[in-house]
Structure 1
Amino acid sequence: MARTIAEIKDSMTADLMRNPDVARAYGFETGAAFSSHFSKVSVESLLFYIVACAMWVLENLFDQHRRDVEQRIEAIIPHRPKWYRDKVLGFMKDKTLVPDTDHYDTEGMSDGDIEAARVVKYAAASENADASILTIKVVGDAEGKRQPLDTDTEGQLAAYIAEIKDAGVRVNLVNQPPDAFNCEADIYFDAMLLSENVETACRGAITAYIENLPFNGEYTNMALVDCLQAVDGVRIVELSGSETMVSGEGTPTKINARYTPASGYFKAGNIKLNMTPYK
């Protein structure tokens, strides 16, 4: 990482002040501070500043060269799931790729136009080692809430993935409504507080935790209990059970300790709270 101009100059002036021959010529003690014998506008100080500027430019050029080389290496090595996630996030609705490439021609488009065309707001890619299938989960955004892409957009995205993917890679594109999250918990609360107020706060805490997990993030029963324990007035939390239901399926799945949603995200479903005053 490139040093600052001040760091480079301080390094050079420190070496100068440690040199016994220079100290003898200028009449100062070896190791003295540069600023105690040379002003900022002295010829020596200005020369060091000019050299420091030149070295700073050179170090930044080397840093940029390193980044360019790393990007080039990243582009030519076999693509990992992260590459697919990044490419899907770069998908642009109603746009075509430059022929025989995996990128768009954005000349003439403003930053706002580019952002509006990139309708995939969240994406995750993971490989199933047993089936050798790359699963890519995607979701859009409307008024700050996650929602599936419409059918036409999903078709365009599937065609885009088919165009950019490595030969032989099988892709499972997941674009569906959120998994429903259900749970039941016994809440023991401070008897000096109103039951309905504490219950409302607990429901809000559950919804906030569930619906604000990172996309394709892992839910845990322990983290849910921790969120409820942080609610004002809650003394004891006993989670009786939690389950989830994938959109379109009729059978819920019991959650044992942790779970990653099939769609990549949750919505709060049936939340049953048994409120008991703590005495």
Structure 2
Amino acid sequence: MARTIEEIKKDMTTEWMKQPAVMSAYGLDGKKAFKDCFSAASLENILFYVFAFAVWSLESLFDLHRNEVDLLIERLEPHTLRWYVAKAKNYMQGYSLVTDCDYYDTSKLSASEIEAARVVKYAVATEKNTVVYIKVARQGEDGNPQSLTAGQLAGLRSYLEEIKDAGVSIQVRNEPADSMQISLVIYYDPTLLTISSNGTGVLPDGSEPVREAVKSVITGLPFNGVFRKSDLMAALQDLPCVKVADITSVKVKAKNAVTGPVEVVGYSVPESGYYEITSLDVDYKPYNTVG
């Protein structure tokens, strides 16, 4: 990235001021900066500005050349799964592609307008039997993934059909969150945690650490991320109020699955790309080692 004219000028004058011949000719002591010794109207200052401007122009041209080369390489390289993910996220609802191209003309749009039009906030691509599967989702008002609307999905599919490689079959997966049912047994420290009348474990500040920890683990997963029961266990055991945690059951079910919820053994990957906790049952028991 090109430096600013002032940055270039400062680098040049700093080195120039260090030269013994310059210090001797101008009677400098080496303790002052260039701007403290030469006025803005001095010949030296004007010359250094001209030199700095010339160097800045050259560096800017190098940046333009680098961007042009990167664009050419991007257009020539084989379209990987990462390319399909990037293109899905670049889809802009309500706008048309540049004619015979796979990108939009955003020169007249503000950053906020571009961000609002890019409705696909989450995407992941996989390939199986020569078919590219792309899981997508938008961002809901709560900040969590949600399925695209019918209009957004139709637009995305049309866009992908237009930009994809010839002969490549693409299947877009836009599904509601996989449901997750969790059952826990928590042995808690009675000096730190209080069980309310409705059976919820709360701290003196009113927070519910166990439920918050579970929610943090699930919502903190990356899109299409792997849920590991061991990660949930570690998060629960890290709570000061929890002495012993036991995960009695974790069941998941894709929204469109024909069969019922499936017990998670070890780990699970969501069919839709993300989970929604539909049931969290916590059985609180006081921790007591006295026989």
Which whole-Å CA distance do the structure 2 matches of 1:25 and 1:95 have between them?
Answer: 64
Partner of 2:283: 274
Contact 2:134 2:171 in 1 (8 A): yes
Partner of 2:100: 100
Which whole-Å CA distance do the structure 2 matches of 1:82 and 1:6 have between them?
Answer: 39
Which whole-Å CA distance do the structure 2 matches of 1:274 and 1:268 have between them?
Answer: 17
Identity of aligned residues (%): 37
Which whole-Å CA distance do the structure 2 matches of 1:47 and 1:100 have between them?
Answer: 48
Q: Deviations over 1:7-39 (max 9, x none)?
A: 43343234324434334433457xx34528952
Contact 2:233 2:247 in 1 (8 A): yes
Q: CA deviation at 1:6?
A: 4.7
Q: CA deviation at 1:147?
A: 2.3
Partner of 2:230: 222
Which whole-Å CA distance do the structure 2 matches of 1:19 and 1:106 have between them?
Answer: 49
Partner of 1:127: 127
- Summarize the Cα distance change of 1:227–1:40 in structure 2 as closer, same or farther, 3 Å threshold: farther
Which whole-Å CA distance do the structure 1 matches of 2:272 and 2:19 have between them?
Answer: 67
Which whole-Å CA distance do the structure 1 matches of 2:18 and 2:11 have between them?
Answer: 11
Matched position secondary structure for 1:217:
coil
Contact 2:14 2:33 in 1 (8 A): no
Q: CA deviation at 1:141?
A: 3.7
**How many equivalent residue pairs?**
275
Partner of 1:39: 37
Q: CA deviation at 1:257?
A: 3.6
Q: Deviations over 1:90-123 (max 9, x none)?
A: 3244555444332446687676665554433322
Alignment match of 2:201 (pick from 191, 198, 202): 198
The residue type equivalent to 1:71 in the other structure is L
Q: CA deviation at 1:80?
A: 1.6
Which whole-Å CA distance do the structure 1 matches of 2:34 and 2:87 have between them?
Answer: 56
Which whole-Å CA distance do the structure 1 matches of 2:139 and 2:23 have between them?
Answer: 67
Matched position secondary structure for 1:158:
helix
Matched position secondary structure for 1:135:
strand
Contact 1:207 1:267 in 2 (8 A): no
Partner of 1:156: 155
Partner of 1:207: 215
5+ residue gaps, structure 2, are 203-207
- Summarize the Cα distance change of 1:220–1:43 in structure 2 as closer, same or farther, 3 Å threshold: farther
Matches within 5 A, 1:242-261: 242-249=250-257, 250-261=259-270
- Summarize the Cα distance change of 1:45–1:225 in structure 2 as closer, same or farther, 3 Å threshold: farther
Which whole-Å CA distance do the structure 2 matches of 1:11 and 1:25 have between them?
Answer: 20
Q: CA deviation at 1:238?
A: 2.7
TM-score, scaled to structure 2? 0.78
Q: CA deviation at 1:143?
A: 2.7
Matched position secondary structure for 1:168:
coil
Matched position secondary structure for 2:2:
coil
Matches within 5 A, 1:231-242: 231=239, 233-242=241-250
Partner of 1:15: 15
Contact 1:187 1:234 in 2 (8 A): yes
RMSD: 3.1
**Higher alpha-carbon deviation: 233-242 or 108-117:** 108-117
Q: CA deviation at 1:232?
A: 5.4
**Higher alpha-carbon deviation: 105-114 or 7-16:** 105-114
Which whole-Å CA distance do the structure 2 matches of 1:155 and 1:242 have between them?
Answer: 34
Which whole-Å CA distance do the structure 2 matches of 1:22 and 1:34 have between them?
Answer: 13
- Summarize the Cα distance change of 1:166–1:107 in structure 2 as closer, same or farther, 3 Å threshold: same
Which whole-Å CA distance do the structure 1 matches of 2:169 and 2:272 have between them?
Answer: 18
The residue type equivalent to 2:147 in the other structure is P
Q: Deviations over 1:64-109 (max 9, x none)?
A: 3312321231122111222212222232445554443324466876
Matched position secondary structure for 2:224:
coil
Q: CA deviation at 1:259?
A: 2.9
Contact 1:16 1:22 in 2 (8 A): yes
